[in-house]
Structure 1
Amino acid sequence: MTDRTYTLNTGAKIPALGFGTWQSAPGEVASAVEYAVTHGYRLVDGAYCYGNEDEVGQGLKAAFAKGIKREDIFVVSKVWTTYATRVEEGLNKCLKSLGLDYVDLFLVHWPLLMNPNGTDDRFPKLPNGERDIIRDYNHIDGWRQMEAVLATGKTKAIGVSNYSKKYLEELLPVAKVVPAVNQIENHPALPQQEIVDLCREKGIHIMAYSPFGSTGGPLFTAEPIVEIAKKHNVQPGTVLLSYNLARGSTVLAKSVNNARIESNKTIVDLDDEDKAKIDAYSAQLTKEGKLQRFVYPPFGIAFGFPDKP
């Protein structure tokens, strides 16, 4: 499964299955990355905000020492919101931690600016405890800086993350470089079809995170997922990963457990009946107003998602 790829609007190949590192505990990330990369994964997704890129870099270094070639691994990182006005500095920090000369894809993590001179490098807060956000920031200005770092060669491609249809429609008419990727939370309880359709139309590849919903896999027990898993004699997680591939998206699977890292490589081809059953489930949740977005930090900004007015 790990050798399947898609082609980005840059012409580069991106793996269909990636290894995620968000919320991986300190002391576990390096060995998990090393194991994943030496056991077939060819995409590693990280971010400065995760606070573990030093360990991701250690894991990559260990894998390279075992004969894995740097050019065979697609490395993703993201500029955090406190660096939205100093993107190259943010990218340089990521590269230093990762021990790399370049990343294959650099993303805008969220389209906002938190105070770069605030109380914390990642999560500056106001005296009342709220996040210290610069309210007059325009995300298009941040994209101009992303376009500038693309020219440095320190990243092979640029893209966005957590962009709604509304924000994309603001960006695309003025972007000199169309984002290669939009990384979004995507699963049957949050299909975000309006974003997927727009990205498909504009040649922007979808990378899906939190395919199981969130920690603990709340979607593992969803009735249609269980039924389809039984039909194919696989685990519910396999169905949820396969759902995203059936939509033509790259999907990120995260674990620090070697057995689970292996099992997440199992993908099945969902047939039309399977896809119709999952789509009906998503449609019913939409109709009932029960869509579930598991990742939505308390920024206090309306990003234009229909489920988060």
Structure 2
Amino acid sequence: MSSRQFTLADGAKIPALGLGTWQLDGSKGREAIVHALKCGYRMLDCAFSYGNQDLVAEAIEQSGVSREDLFIVDKLANTWHSAAEDCLDRTLAALKTDTLDLWLMHWPSPLNHHGNHPKCPTLPDGTVDFEKDWNYVKTWQTMIEIQNRRPEVKGLGVANFGIKELEAISFTGVLPLVNQVELHPSLNQEKLHKYCKEKGIQLVAYSPLGSTGSALLLDPDLQVIAEKNNATVAQCLLSWGVAKGWPVIPRSSSPDRLEQNLNILELSVEDIDDISRIGKASPKRYVTAPWHTFEEIV
């Protein structure tokens, strides 16, 4: 079990490994979270838009792990940017918790709160319906103001931000503690990592294995590295991320894989370099969204 941690700019400790809860639903999803917590996972990565906060709360209760031992991350949904505090209240109630260790802006994309869809409202011509007279900088200012009043929010962060968006909110004088982004050897985010490191912003990797259908898991060169380390390719990819300097939040509903993923290896410098090289040879972004344009992979 990995007890590794990273220290955030405010001194808080964030576990090096967490459980992503996206698409974990129904009894199978709940059982997966319970199993993960019983095995030793202590960070849960949640979001209002995942629609499963009630299930996460049930799983925490069933696991017997106390709230004090957990690091809970949740995210402000795109369609709630102009109603952020209401979203926070609903989140705390659904998760049955008095505090969030991190509250993130899920995307720098404010969508119409009163639109025709709870996640991705559209205009009559089919294009995305953005919130009028609102932008993500205003959302960030609102989140800062809420945190100043509400002890329920221990730390603030963002997700899916590039350098351009981080620059835009920096004038507030309050930088996010973390920036959670898609991050794996095929999308190494080197420029963004360098920028965040200089600013004291901790990158956190979602889809650290390359998301569903990832070619990385079947890569023959990575399989050679895994065999050499008597490990799975997934374990090597997660260990690569931690070695490079960021927490990883894989998602799985398989008890075996949940247990395997907890084992963060001490990879050799050679293996770390080889994994980086293999990823660079096949650059790929798995997660895209109609409401946001990412910078090109360099």
TM band (smaller chain): over 0.9
1:306 matched to which residue of 2? 296
Per the alignment, residue 16 of structure 1 pairs with 16
Equivalent residue, structure 2, for 1:125: 122
Q: 1:106 aligns with which of 95, 103, 106?
A: 103
Are residues 1:238 and 2:235 paired?
yes
**Once the 2 structures are TM-superposed, how far is the Cα of residue 175 of structure 1 from its aligned partner?**
2.5
> Equivalent residue for 2:222?
225
The alpha-carbon deviation at position 74 of structure 1 amounts to 0.1
Residues 214-261 of structure 1, C-alpha deviations (whole Å, 9 max, x = no match) = 114431122432221121111100111111101110000211121211
Query: For the structure 1 residues 190 and 40, does the alpha-carbon distance in structure 2 shift closer, same or farther, using more than 3 Å as the test?
Result: same
Instruction: Give a deviation string over 1:21-57, Cα, whole Å, max 9, x none.
Output: 1122333222222221122011000101111111011
Name the structure 2 match of 1:288. none
| Counterpart code for 2:288 | Y
Which residue is equivalent to 2:163?
165
Aligned mates of 2:245, 2:12 — CA distance in 1? 16
**CA RMSD, 1 decimal:** 1.7
SS in 1 for 2:272: helix
- 1:198 maps onto 2:195 in alignment: yes
- Any idea what SS the aligned residue of 1:297 has? coil
- Summarize deviations over 1:84-140 as a string: whole Å, max 9, x none: 122111111111111111111000000011101111222222233333223653211
Normalised by the size of structure 2, how large is the TM-score? Answer: 0.94
In the alignment, structure 1 residue 247 sits paired with structure 2 residue 244: yes
Inter-partner Cα distance in structure 1 for 2:29 and 2:86: 24
Contact between 1:112 and 1:137, CA under 8 Å: does it hold in 2?
no
What are the residue-to-residue correspondences of 1:29-178 with 2, within 5 Å? 29-63=29-63, 66=64, 68-134=65-131, 137-151=134-148, 152-172=150-170, 174-178=171-175
Which of residues 273, 292, 295 is equivalent to 2:287?
295
- Unmatched 5+ stretches in structure 2: none
Identity fraction in percent: 37
> Unpaired segments of 5 or more residues in structure 1?
286-290
CA distance in 1, matches of 2:89, 2:118: 15
User: TM-score of the superposition, structure 1-length normalised?
Assistant: 0.91
Asked whether the 8 Å contact 2:77–2:105 carries over to 1, the reply is: yes
SS in 2 for 1:187: coil
**In 2: Cα distance, 1:154 partner to 1:91 partner:** 9
One-letter identity of the residue aligned with 2:120: F
Paired letter, 2:256: A
The aligned residue for residue 284 of structure 1 is 281
Q: Residues 242 and 267 of structure 1 are in contact (CA less than 8 Å); yes or no, is this contact kept in structure 2?
A: yes
In structure 2, do the counterparts of structure 1 residues 131 and 241 end up closer, same or farther at CA, with 3 Å as the change threshold?
A: same
Please give the alpha-carbon distance, in whole angstroms, between the structure 2 residues aligned to 1:164 and 1:224.
30
The one-letter code matched in structure 2 to 1:159 is G
Q: Is the 8 A contact 2:46 2:75 kept in 1?
A: yes
Contact 1:187 1:210 (C-alpha < 8 Å) held by counterparts: yes
Structure 1 residue 5 displacement after superposition: 0.9
Paired residue total: 297
SS of residue paired to 1:27: helix
**Which residue in 2 is equivalent to 1:26?**
26
